[in-house]
Every structure is written in structure tokens, then in C-alpha cells.
Amino acid sequence: MLGALPVHAEPAALASLGPLIGLAALGAFHGINPAMGWLFAVSLGLQRQAMGAVFSAAFYISVGHIASLAVVAIALAVAGYLIPLFWVRIASGIFLVGFGIYKLVLYYRHFRWVGMNVSGRDLFVWSFLMATSHGAGLMLAPIILNLEEEGSGGTADLGHHAGLLDLTETAATWGIGLAIHSVAMLAVMLVTAVVVYKKLGLAFLRRGWLNVDLLWAGALILAGLVTLGLALL
């Protein structure tokens, strides 16, 4: 999915659909990972014996996920404002590769953030922490840093030269990017949750629950390598 990325920056923001497709694809990938929330939504639906609980849980989980992504995007923007984009890419690329390797070895580490008897706020916090600690936002770094470059009109270090107009443009571009990612994630999460809840049933979990954690660690490493590649090539 990351192969669709343009290696060279486009002249104007959103000139290419590549990054948006990439963000949507990563949204789908996040949505299908049980650790990102659809499983929690299913279990709450079953526990409360109400389909509505699936939907309300998915809502709070999505908002938590988006909040985590927004925090990462803002952090990257601030970093891009303070230091050259080249170094932001190098730092986030190295971090992503290292974090991916860590998840590969210790992917099953979990803290006890909540329990089973949860409110909407609990789900928000749980999802925020799950997304943050799994590096969901950082996984988007190569694409949003690319958008950052595009948003600043192709200059390699945004902050030092960008005017207010460029910053607004960047923020708008990212907003659209995050929205596309989030809609894709919520759609996949809801479809998966409803299909498991209504059609497949619990027995599906025994056979169909692939080890997404390992794929996830691989995706982090890949995202890190792409980020490094974009910096160095």
C-alpha cells in the first residue's frame, strides 16, 4: 500500500491521489486490527445484548483513535516547524523501525488501562492509549510528512520559510488526510464488528483471528524504512 506513494513531491497539495489512498488503506488496516477496537465493540454488544452498544462503542473508540493521530500529526508539524524536514524524517524513521522491532519481540505487552465494565469516556481513553502505544499515528508519518512537504510548496524545510498561508494550507491538507483515514477506519471497524456480531459469531474468533500484531510490527518497520528512504533519496 505504501508503494503507491510518490517518491518526488508533487507541485501542489493533494495533486496526487496516492497519499490519500495510502491513508485510506492504513485506515482500513487499523480498522481491521482487533486490538484497535472492533472486538471491544462486539464484546460490549454481546455483554449488553444490544446492537446499539456495538455502534456507540465504535464511535468512542474512533474518536480516541483520531485524537491519538491528531496528537502525532501536531507533534510532527511542530517538529517540522522547528527543525528541517530531513531530520524529522530521519528521527521518525529510526524511531519507527526501532519500535517495530520492539513490537515484533514483545508484541503481547499490555497494560491494564480499563476493564470490561466501561463508559464511553473509558473507551475513548482506552482507544487513545492503544493507538498511541501501538504507534498507529506514527505509522502514517511517511505520508503526512510528504503532505507537509507538498503543503509547503515543495520546499524541503517547511517551518523556516513558510508563511501563515502555507501553514493554513498544510493544516487543511492534513485535516482532509486524517478525515479520510478515520472514515476508512471507522467503516472497516463497523463492518467487521457487525459481521462478527450478527453473522459469524464468537467461534470465528478461534479460527479467523490472525496474528495482526506481527503484521502490525512489520508495517511499522516498513513505514520507518519508507520515511528514511524519502529523507535520503
Quote the least distance from Cβ 108 to another protein, whole Å: 4
Q: Residues 81, 84, 85, 87: what is their CA dihedral angle, to the nearest 10 degrees?
A: -120
Residue 203 engages another protein in binding (rule: CB under 8 A) = yes
User: With respect to another protein, which residue has the nearer C-beta, 174 or 216?
Assistant: 216
Closest C-alpha to 151, from 66, 65, 73? 73
Residue 199 engages another protein in binding (rule: CB under 8 A) = no
Determine the residue type at 45: G
**Which of 119, 172, 195, 211 touches another protein (CB under 8 A)?**
211
Half-sphere exposure of 43 (CA within 13 A, CB side): 12
Interaction mask 18-47, another protein, x per CB under 8 A: ----------------xx---xx-xx--xx
Closest C-alpha to 181, from 25, 6, 14, 5? 25
Closest C-alpha to 134, from 40, 219, 75? 219
User: With respect to another protein, which residue has the nearer C-beta, 105 or 164?
Assistant: 105
Question: In whole angstroms, what is the distance from residue 181 CA to residue 21 CA?
Answer: 9
User: With respect to another protein, which residue has the nearer C-beta, 35 or 77?
Assistant: 35
- The three cell numbers of residue 35 are 486490538
Residue 50 engages another protein in binding (rule: CB under 8 A) = no
Quote the least distance from Cβ 32 to another protein, whole Å: 13
How many residues in the shown chain lie near another protein by CB under 8 A? 33
Quote the least distance from Cβ 57 to another protein, whole Å: 10
**What φ, ψ does residue 113 adopt, rounded to 5°?**
-85, -40
Question: In whole angstroms, what is the distance from residue 27 CA to residue 173 CA?
Answer: 17
Among residue numbers 105 through 124, which ones bind another protein (CB under 8 A)?
106-118
Quote the least distance from Cβ 151 to another protein, whole Å: 37
**Which of 102, 213, 225, 229 touches another protein (CB under 8 A)?**
213
Residue 205 engages another protein in binding (rule: CB under 8 A) = yes
Would the CA dihedral through 53, 192, 222, 22 be positive or negative? negative
Closest C-alpha to 192, from 24, 35, 68, 69? 35
Residue 165 engages another protein in binding (rule: CB under 8 A) = no
Question: In whole angstroms, what is the distance from residue 39 CA to residue 115 CA?
Answer: 14
**Which of 29, 60, 99, 126 touches another protein (CB under 8 A)?**
126
Quote the least distance from Cβ 39 to another protein, whole Å: 4
Residue ranges binding another protein (CB under 8 A): 34-35, 39-40, 42-43, 46-47, 49, 106-118, 126, 202-203, 205-207, 209-211, 213-214
